[in-house]
Amino acid sequence: MFSTTIKVRFSDVDRAGIAYYPRMVHWFHVAFEEFWEQWVGVPYATVLEQQNLGFPAVKLEVDFVKPTRFGELLTVRVGLEEIGGASSRFRYEVAGPAGELRARARVTVVCVALDTLKPRALPDAYRARFAAALLPSEPPT
């Protein structure tokens, strides 16, 4: 899995002193952007602004496993579970400083033309890089 690090800032925590849950979703997207630049090889801004492509989320599933606190350095891992014609399902795992799981998520995105917001086929060059990040299937639970 591709991984990146994120530091939990003061503005990320709520009155209880733990990361406010929407921040975790934001960190998934930060990791998604890093995945584009570092794994796919194209800054996500280029994909949006020069190629007129976007990847809006159409489904989000998150399991919050353990609280995350101010000042912690998190590792966010990104991989793909499935690649369709236009849609792709990403898997995220967030680990704390000692490697303990904090959250896991599945986010399904759809490749769209930004001017119409209509689905379009994932370009072959991106499909190849996404395929290189495919994860083994998880056994049924």
pTM: 0.92
| Domains in the chain: ranges and CATH | 2-131 (3.10.129.10)
pLDDT over 70 at 72, yes or no: yes
Task: Find the mean pLDDT for residues 13-29.
Answer: 95
Can you give the pLDDT at residue 73?
97
The average pLDDT across 110-135 equals 96
Asked if residue 36 lies in contact with residue 100, where contact means CB atoms within 8 angstroms, the answer is: no
Residue environment code for 82-116, b if the CB has 16+ CB neighbours within 10 A, otherwise e: ebeeebbbbbbbbbbeeeeebbbbbbbbbbbeeee
Per residue in 33-53, pLDDT (tens digit) is: 999 999 999 999 999 999 999
- Average pLDDT on 21-43 reads 97
Across 47-69, average pLDDT: 97
- Give the H/E segment covering residue 30: helix 21-34
The SS3 of residue 52 is: coil
Q: How many CB atoms lie within 10 A of CB 6?
A: 20
> What does the alpha-carbon distance between residue 75 and residue 94 come to, in Å, rounded to a whole number?
6
Q: What percent of the chain has pLDDT over 70?
A: 97
